[in-house]
Amino acid sequence: MKITYYGHSCLGIEINDIHIIVDPFISGNPKAASIDVDSLKADYIMLTHAHYDHVLDVERIIKRTNATIISNHEIVTYYGNKDFKGHGMNHGGSWKFDFGTVKAVSAIHSSSFSDGTYGGNPMGFIIQANGKTVYLAGDTALTMDMKLIPMFHKLDLAILPVGGNFTMDIEEAVVAAAFIECDNIMGVHFDSFEMIEIDHEKSKQIFKNKNKTLNLLGIGEHLTV
């Protein structure tokens, strides 16, 4: 899996020849000005919840690519009413797609569209493909539910929010890494707004002190799992 960071919590995931975009918020993020939304490939769009900073570019991308949405039932229904394709899921459910298996897991947050429409329960995803397993936490607080994950999955990478205020912060994210028994962490949901700015070197040191690695990618950078 090749994972590219497009800023905030937006990711591009390439699995073989299949392209997935996670939580597309690019055009509204000044820090992501180097990313051309209209050049991104997308076979699927995975949405963790309905907040504008995770769904802003959904319609723009789908109208060009005809991508299929993977999200909770309510979000898929919302976009289905606009004639967009989707596969609805709910917590605890798994489904085998052509790129691999996706399991929906708990996230502690809120979820509503900008027009006030209920966005269902927020969720995270565990993606298994090509012998690798990645946990995409979505926007979440630290939760004891995370301890269930290593009972069923050995993670190669966990993608965790680290900016605080709206989600868990660095100190809690390193505890989350212990809960999920994963030493290789990629941080998201940081620096986009003043309230979620972090000290990069200090944050990496906090993880290093626990014998873990925190990857804080620049926009447009990628890592491979």
Q: What is the pLDDT of residue 125?
A: 98
As a whole number of angstroms, the distance between CA 207 and CA 220 comes to 23
Domain count, the chain: 1
pLDDT tens per residue across all 225 residues of the chain = 999 999 999 999 999 999 999 999 999 999 999 999 999 999 999 999 999 999 999 999 999 999 999 999 999 999 999 999 999 999 999 999 999 999 999 999 999 999 999 999 999 999 999 999 999 999 999 999 999 999 999 999 999 999 999 999 999 999 999 999 999 999 999 999 999 999 999 999 999 999 999 999 999 999 999
Looking at residue 119, which CATH number applies to its domain? 3.60.15.10
Residue 131: the pLDDT is 97
Give residue 219's domain range: 2-224
Q: pTM surpassing 0.95? A: yes
